[in-house]
Amino acid sequence: MKINDNVLQACFEEGVTKVISCLSTCIFPDKTSYPIDETMVHNGPPHPSNFGYSYAKRMIDVANHGYYEQHGKVFTSVVPCNVFGAHDNFDKQSSHVIPGLIRKLNDIMEQGGKQFEVLGSGKPLRQFIYSLDLARLFVWVLRNYESVEPIILSVDESDEVSISQLAE
């Protein structure tokens, strides 16, 4: 949280007129209704597995509102859905869904295997956005979005895919 505070304070002191911070979908309450929207950020505690990280990210939103109310600064935040793209993290232990599946399939193929098994039910739905598309949306937010309220950057709900569909 200190890093976030220091960045926003430095931007204020140097006269930066707009700041866009990146939040995470893990900021949303663990027990919530779907579809989620920006107004639901502070409606309950996040999942215990992300507790500290989630609250640190939520505090960026609180600080943004403080800078707006006290100084009229439009410091805002974006909440992207799951991002994938070039230079992704393909580590076996810490990768996210898409690079994790790619890594798993690659390892199976290198070992001459033919069976690709995905753990779990495969039913959870996810939204994904390509990193360059997200970068374009960041530029749009910089040029066009004039609210301190966070904005979710994601695909349409009809574009959600299950883990099973993704693996296929």
The DSSP result for 1-66, as a single string, is: -HHHHHHHHHHHHTT--EEEEE--GGGS-SS--SS--GGGTTSS---GGGHHHHHHHHHHHHHHHH
Parallel/antiparallel/unpaired status of strands 128-130 and 82-84: parallel
CA angle 36, 41, 43 (to 5 degrees): 95
What is the pLDDT, as a whole number, of residue 51? Answer: 92
User: Of 53, 68, 130, 145, which one is the catalytic site residue?
Assistant: 53
**pTM attached to this predicted model:** 0.82
User: Which pLDDT belongs to residue 142?
Assistant: 95
Among residues 15, 49, 43, the alpha carbon closest in space to that of 31 is found at 43
* Confidence at residue 120, expressed as pLDDT on a 0 to 100 scale: 87
| Fold annotation for 2-167 | Rossmann fold (3.40.50)
Cα 163 from Cα 83, distance rounded (Å): 15
Report domain extents, the chain.
2-167
Query: Per-residue pLDDT for 156 more than 80?
Result: no
Residue 1 has a pLDDT of 87
Q: Among this protein's residues, is 53 annotated catalytic?
A: yes
